[in-house]
Amino acid sequence: MTNFSFNPQGFGLDISDFSLKIAVLEKERGDLKLASFGSAAIASGIIEKGEIKDEEKLSEIIKNALSQIKGKKIRTKYVLASLPEEKSFLDRVRLPLMEQKEIEAAIRFEIENYIPFPLEKVYFDFEKIQPNHKNYQEVLIAAIPKNIAESYSRVLEKAGLCPLALEPECLSISRALIKKDETAEPVLMIDLGKTRTSFIFFSENNIKFTSTILFSFEQLTKVLSEKMEVSMDEAEKIKCEQGLMGKKEVSKILIPLLINFAKKTEGLLEYFNFHQNKNLRSAKPLEKILLCGGGANLKGIEDFLSAQLKIKIVLGNPWINILKTPLKQTPKISLEHSLGYTSSLGLALRGILN
């Protein structure tokens, strides 16, 4: 992850396999507001499972998206970009109590026990998890293979941008959805994406662990297309318009897939609650799930998953650290569409608050 000794403001750029999202925040009389935003589709084959296959085409897509931005023209070249969750490694390391200057040396000694790559083949960063326990301290480590990070950096530079930071999506998502400076009860954030679903477990004001599965809401579209014998475009339209609350023919196709998804989620919840109670005497069970990503807009998904998992499920609010409540202004992006901008808004927050 790239660091500099100065702190210019940058905008957020979230890059996934099939789309990118741009968000720019600005300060106005001490408040934050969205200055500009944009998105672009990425053709199949340019990025595969988080790995860039065609750097030239991707850089052109980014340049074109920046030229068609909505709102104010972007005048900075500084950008904070996401790294693919499936290529990133995030974990907690337990260390003896020690001074900050000693932590990096200890991390270098321990990190290869937590990542499937030699240390010389990754970039890594870390931060202390507060508070310290009586006999030990925990450190959150993030690592990315050098070839992946360098590929994303080259693309940004070819697009005429200067990367201030590259970070795993889980960090930007939690920055966007968790209210700053409030002691957070255990919560699970689920990013329902087009190609995969990410789970981010958050407790004691820190990410505890993450997991990614191949289940995606694109799969729902494909099954609808096959079962109803319609094109993918028509199936996507049916899914968006009806979801689980329209014709029974549609919900009957979708529900078995979502039951399987709920079972996978339940397994992760059981692991988290067991892990929490095992390590923290005062740990509380996880009682809330926040949904984000484009798949969170499926009609009826909140009630369905809540009934399956017996837990409160709500749509995440990516404006919670940007717009004051009660709202004095209407967001330029509706809540429905802003769920797909969660990561880019989290990156933009880091860019303006650094």
pLDDT score at 7: 62
In a domain, 19, yes or no: no
Interatomic CA distance for residues 141 and 126, integer angstroms: 4
Q: What is the DSSP letter of 118?
A: -
In a domain, 292, yes or no: yes
Q: What percent of the chain has pLDDT over 90?
A: 61
- Whether residue 278 has pLDDT greater than 80: no
Interatomic CA distance for residues 94 and 109, integer angstroms: 12
- Whether residue 6 has pLDDT greater than 70: no
| Contact present, 253 and 224 (Cβ < 8 Å) | yes
In a domain, 50, yes or no: no
Terminal Cα distance for the chain, rounded: 15
Residue 185, number of CB atoms within 10 A of its CB? 13
List pLDDT tens digits, range 111-168: 888 888 888 899 988 888 766 677 788 888 889 999 999 999 999 999 999 999 999 9
- Tell the residue number behind the tokens 């990516």, with chain if given: 318
3-state secondary structure of 225: helix
Q: What is the mean pLDDT of the chain?
A: 88
**Where residue 171 falls among pLDDT bands split at 50, 70, 90?**
very high
- Whether residue 279 has pLDDT greater than 70: no
In a domain, 298, yes or no: yes
List pLDDT tens digits, range 10-67: 999 999 999 999 999 998 887 899 999 999 999 999 999 999 999 999 999 999 999 9
List pLDDT tens digits, range 95-104: 888 887 788 8
In a domain, 310, yes or no: yes
Number of domains in the chain: 1
In a domain, 312, yes or no: yes
| Contact present, 188 and 290 (Cβ < 8 Å) | yes
- Sheet of 11-15: strand order equals 70-71, 31-41, 19-28, 11-15, 78-83, 162-168
Closest CA to 85 of 301, 354, 342, 299: 342
**Where residue 5 falls among pLDDT bands split at 50, 70, 90?**
very low
Amino acid identity at 220: L
**Where residue 280 falls among pLDDT bands split at 50, 70, 90?**
low
- Whether residue 282 has pLDDT greater than 60: no
User: pTM (2 decimals)?
Assistant: 0.90
How many helices (H) and strands (E) would you count in the chain? 10, 16
- Whether residue 307 has pLDDT greater than 60: yes
When comparing pLDDT for 206 and 341, which is higher? 341
Closest CA to 12 of 270, 343, 272, 261: 343
pLDDT score at 329: 57
In a domain, 150, yes or no: no
Beta bridge partners of 167: 82
pLDDT score at 118: 86
When comparing pLDDT for 194 and 46, which is higher? 46
pLDDT score at 325: 65
Task: For residue 240, give the CATH number of its domain.
Answer: 3.30.420.40
The two beta strands, 206-213 and 197-203, are antiparallel
| Contact present, 210 and 271 (Cβ < 8 Å) | no
pLDDT score at 175: 95
**Where residue 3 falls among pLDDT bands split at 50, 70, 90?**
very low
Residue 296 belongs to what domain range?
179-319
- Whether residue 72 has pLDDT greater than 90: yes
- Whether residue 87 has pLDDT greater than 70: yes
List pLDDT tens digits, range 224-263: 999 999 999 999 999 999 999 989 999 999 999 999 999 9
- Whether residue 2 has pLDDT greater than 50: no
